[in-house]
Amino acid sequence: MTPMIRTNIPGTSPYEPIIGLSRAVRIGNHVHVSGTGPVGADDADITQQTEQVLAIIATALKNAGSSIEHVYRTRIYLTSAEDWEAVARIHGRIFSTILPAVTTIVVTAFVNPTWRVELEADALIPE
């Protein structure tokens, strides 16, 4: 049996060294992207925050050897249920042909109180 090799994929979030996390972790041919906030678009509107989050996730997946096209699960966290449709439209545009399993959850707050959205993603690395 081939051992599963673990590779930690760093990102650029200032929270990574404080929390002790990797932007993504690759184990075998699976990539698990940590909850990703809109770093760099902290004070932007919900649309721009969501686009920034997905761009950060896409970079993490690329650095791990995968891509958005290979995402099979996402989790969306919102601080306001009223933002669901704006976030869903962007998510739907990006994933319209991929159709990953999705969960949407409303939470009280994020570490950065200006964030309105955070996403996680799981993807495969094609063999």
pLDDT in tens, the chain (127 residues): 667 899 999 999 888 999 999 999 999 999 999 999 999 999 999 999 999 999 999 999 999 999 999 999 999 999 999 999 999 999 999 999 999 999 999 999 999 999 999 999 999 998 8
Domains of the chain: 6-124 (3.30.1330.40)
Q: What gap in Å lies between CA 39 and CA 49, rounded to an integer?
A: 8
- Residues β-bridged to residue 75: 103, 120
The residue written with tokens 């042909």 in the block is 97
The SS3 assignment for 95 reads helix
Read off the pTM: 0.94
The answer to whether 123 and 70 have CB atoms below 8 angstroms apart is: yes
Which tokens belong to 49? 């925050």
Output the pLDDT for position 1. 61
